[in-house]
Amino acid sequence: MAVVEPPSSPMLPGQGTASARRAARAHLLHNETVEHYRQVLSEGIDRVARTVADARRPCTGISPDELDSVVSSVDLDRPLADTTAALDELVDVYLRDAIFYHHPRYLAHLNSPVAIPALLAEVVLSALNSSLDTWDQSAGATLIERRLVDWTARRIGFDDRADGVFTSGGTQSNLQGLLLAREELLAGLGAGTDRHGQWPRLRVLVSEVGHFSVRKAARLLGLGPGAVLPVPTDRSWRMSPTALARELDRCRRRGEHVVAVVATAGTTDFGSIDPLPEIAARCADAGVWLHVDAAYGGGLLLSRTRSHLLTGIDRADSVTIDFHKTFFQPVSSSALVVRDGTALRHATDRADYLNPRWMADRDIPNQVDKSLQTTRRFDALKLWLTLRVTGADQLGELVDELVERTSEAWRALSADPRFEVVTRSPLSTVVFRHLPEGADPELVDEANLHAREALAGTGDAVVAATRVRGRHYLKLTLLNPRTTVEDITRLAELVAEHAGDHVRAHHADTAPDTAERRAACPSMTSSPSA
């Protein structure tokens, strides 16, 4: 259906307004536009399906400058004729050069292919557009989210006191977990301030390889510079319980109050899982809140053979779970779950127009009472339909497959003398680098970064990069069950090829020319028989 373009010449007040409004209303979903809705979505789904089917590489390698020139040329004040034209344009500005997480050689970040039932849920939740803040905006959606929170809490091992709320992702879940921890601490200290009206010195302890969102959360919570104290790790990049005990004791002796210890169940780089039982014991002895960031490793809760890797998570006070990682959900889908639901009161504020006290007194379930957000999507529906169609056990089988495939990749790279592998992950990451012959440490760094850029530039693969003890490494994150060992070995060959090319080019650029070399080495001027 054509969209009326803005008039090209001035009109008298009211002239043309009625037809323009009718045209605009035709693009809103209601009982008279459902056929148009079906046609538009059908065309859009067909275009996406063709794009996915035709993707032969995880990316095209287009540069930011190239794509920016295309996007910047679009005149947003002049609408196109119809949906077909808009989809044609979308190919140029997005679809053609999108990063395809479903491709088996996308191995960079914690992005997974998505479950088709969840995509169906996206269609439903976007069309009805429920907002998960109050009952009168969401009704059954509220109960579905609450049921999924209960289900997640039981998987963690919490009892009936547990509660939680869906969030936008691990960063927000960690922020809210630390907010609750801070408020519980301050409440326990009385008014939360000393006699000068200032907060006591507050600290957060986290593994030295814990997620950066912990530092960001501390800043947002006003804890001040230096509030986050890194705790050393062992050789497997797991928080050392002994080091944690020392740090807790230092804080006590310095008169500092520990808001929380943040344990990690699946670090971003190494997939390492902190020793949760030992950490929980230290926190219990010190009377400190334990928050477990299981944004990555939470998928192990689905595994029938590996859930024991999360033993001790049930002793946490709060847990972050990202369903849009190892539960194969579209972004965004995360949750914060707390062992004692009464702690969520610290996120509650009241507005007469939204969630007045009388609603709580009548047990009307308003999720805004638990959330840092007000308006919030019904993201829980995606997980709900996935569980109802695919099933939790089947998702767990996919998680197991990812871990097994990663172990195979680790063995293959470890056995190849051209590569250095950092550690063996209990999850699905491999941190490694190529060691070109004749390269000093700086050149090794350059060569591996060059290989990563070359892979993305050709579109052959997308891998991540990180730093380990000051040196540059490459990182594979396997979240696609279709990735094979052959994909990994082919990737390794490409890394070696690109890194080697960089080293050879470097040596060629830095070598003296032939005349200079002959002057420096007289034997080069002698004949072979001399």
* One domain, residues 404 and 435: yes
* CATH number for position 46: 1.20.1650
- Residue 324: which pLDDT band, with cuts at 50, 70 and 90? very high
Residues 383 and 403 in one domain: no
Q: What is the pLDDT of residues 475-486, one digit of tens each?
A: 999 999 999 999
Q: Which of 390, 406, 431 is the last residue of a domain?
A: 390
pLDDT at residue 484, rounded to an integer: 96
528 falls within a domain: no
- Please report the pLDDT score of residue 92 as a whole number: 97
317 closest CA partner among 432, 161, 438: 161
Q: Is 416 helix (H, G, I), strand (E, B) or coil?
A: coil
Check residue 529 and give its pLDDT: 35
For residues 493-513, average pLDDT: 89
Beta strand segments in 92-178, E: 106-107, 163-167
The count of domains in the chain is: 3
Q: pLDDT (tens digit, 9 = 90+) per residue, 352-377? A: 999 999 999 999 999 999 999 999 99
Asked if residue 521 is part of any domain, the answer here is no
Query: In terms of domains, do 411 and 318 share one?
Result: no
Query: Are 37 and 157 found together in one domain?
Result: no
CATH, residue 477: 3.90.1150.10
Same domain, 386 and 411: no
Q: Who's near 326: CB < 8 A, 6+ residues apart?
A: 112, 296, 297, 298, 299, 300, 302, 399, 402, 428, 479
Mean pLDDT of the 138-157 span: 97
346 in Cβ contact with 180 (< 8 Å): yes
Same domain, 294 and 398: no
Same domain? For 385 and 274 the reply is yes
pLDDT per position as a tens digit, 411-450: 999 999 999 999 999 999 999 999 999 899 999 999 999 9
Distance of CA 159 to the CA centre of its chain: 28
* In a shared domain, residues 83 and 159: no
Point out which residues pair with 293 in neighbouring strands.
264, 320
Read off the pLDDT band of 200 (50, 70, 90).
confident
* CA angle, 435 then 517 then 502, to 5°: 25
Range of the domain at 426: 393-510
281 and 416 share a domain?
no
Q: What pLDDT score was predicted for residue 197?
A: 54
Domain boundary pick from 353, 369, 390: 390
385 and 400 both lie in a single domain: no
> Could you tell me if 262 and 327 lie in one domain?
yes
Token readout for 54 is 């035709």
Q: Is 321 domain-assigned?
A: yes
In angstroms, the CA 174 to CA 316 distance is: 13
Q: Give the CA count within 13 Å in the CB-facing half-sphere of 99.
A: 14
CATH classification at residue 320: 3.40.640.10
* pLDDT-derived band at 13, boundaries 50, 70, 90: low
For residue 114, tell me if it sits in a domain. no
Q: What is the pLDDT of residue 130?
A: 97
Q: Are 485 and 408 in contact (CB under 8 A)?
A: yes
In this structure, the answer to whether residues 398 and 452 fall within a common structural domain is yes
pTM of the model: 0.91
